[in-house]
Amino acid sequence: MPSNTVYMAAADALLIVHFLFVLFIILGLLLILLGGALSWSWVRNPWFRLAHLAGIVIVVLQSWGGVICPLTTWEMELRARAGEAVYAGSFISHWLGRLGSE
């Protein structure tokens, strides 16, 4: 059975992946808009655009369905197995709440 340290490391790694996904969604849109205005050809790359659109669709469907992101659920499960406190609700509401309170 893995130690608490392994579970915490996995939870932290998943948190980073989740943060990078959110960053891709937010910055991706900004880069697409800016790139269109500045004629950057790479922002018209179909793979980039499809990946970005798929990410947005996933987030919107989860939001409409009232579903907590599976990455959040997985992270909380790993933290619980490590014996750490878990949070209720979504990744965004938790971390924005923590940033706002500091």
Per-residue pLDDT of 47-82, as tens digits, reads 999 999 999 999 999 989 998 889 999 999 999 999
Q: What is the DSSP string of 8-47?
A: HHHHHHHHHHHHHHHHHHHHHHHHHHHHHHHT-GGGG-HH
Per-residue pLDDT of 89-100, as tens digits, reads 776 776 667 676
Distance CA 45, CA 32 (A): 10
Distance CA 60, CA 66 (A): 10
